[in-house]
Copies of this chain bind each other. A is one copy, B any other.
Amino acid sequence: MPAIDQLVHTVAARRIICRGQDDLTSVPIICSGWALSAVMLPDGSRQILSFLLPGDLVSPSLLFDSKPDSFVEAITTVTYRAFNRLNLRQAITTEPAAFSALARMWFREKRRTEELVVDLGRRSASERIARLIIGLVERLQERSMTSGPFEVDFPLRQHHIADATGLTPVHVNKLLSEFRRKELIRLSDRSLAILDPAAFRAAANLR
């Protein structure tokens, strides 16, 4: 990744944006598109830690250090802006506002990661999938990235859902089919609609 500040970069779908091992001189912020942050295991399987949407800092912790075996990959075509790492770090230590902004981001990320731990540790496969979808829809709503009341563009493949929920793609497929059969959601052609929000939240064990 080039180190030039402020320049907008474009990455095609399925390409890697950065790896934990890279010594990063810049911190990317997503401008458009979806990305994922994941850990690769030696056996070839992987665990997605988070999905990154426009406005997301690519791992706040990258400000300080990198992480082994973790990487960020584009799901759709992604554009991002690279900010100078040292400059950001400087801003954080000198400006209180920047510091608390960072603290808030860290906080949100931490909370999301811990919710993921709870989901993976203590919830059923269908709960995990439903919660993942609802969480993403809520984040898209916050960004006004909706195409209808409960309808959004949804570029994830079933294997993304599998890698995020700790399941196999085949099993994800079967459970999504079941959600469709029960008319809780509609999902086709990269478009998702939650048809029965109340019932779907119930399936996710929310509210």
Contact = CB atoms under 8 A, between A and B. Distances in A.
Interface of A: 39, 41-42, 45-47, 49, 61, 64-65, 67, 70, 93, 96, 99, 103, 106-107, 109-111, 113-114, 116-118, 120-122, 165-166, 205
A116 B120 CA distance: 10
A107 B63 CA distance: 11
Contacts of A166: 120-122
A106 B106 contact: yes
A171 B96 CA distance: 49
B114 A49 contact: yes
A166 B128 CA distance: 14
A117 B49 contact: yes
Given A39-B118, A113-B117, 13 more contacts: A41-B118, A41-B122, A47-B117, A47-B122, A64-B103, A64-B107, A67-B114, A93-B96, A93-B99, A106-B106, A120-B121, A121-B165, A122-B166
Nearest to A100: B64
Chain A's interface: helix, strand, loop or mixed, by majority?
helix
A56 to B, nearest CB: 16
Nearest to A59: B110
A93 to B, nearest CB: 6
A117 B118 contact: no
A103 B62 CA distance: 11
7 contacts: A47-B117, A47-B118, A49-B117, A67-B114, A106-B106, A109-B110, A121-B165
A88 to B, nearest CB: 13
10 A-B pairs with least C-beta separation:
A121-B166, A120-B120, A47-B121, A47-B118, A47-B122, A120-B121, A113-B113, A39-B118, A45-B122, A116-B117
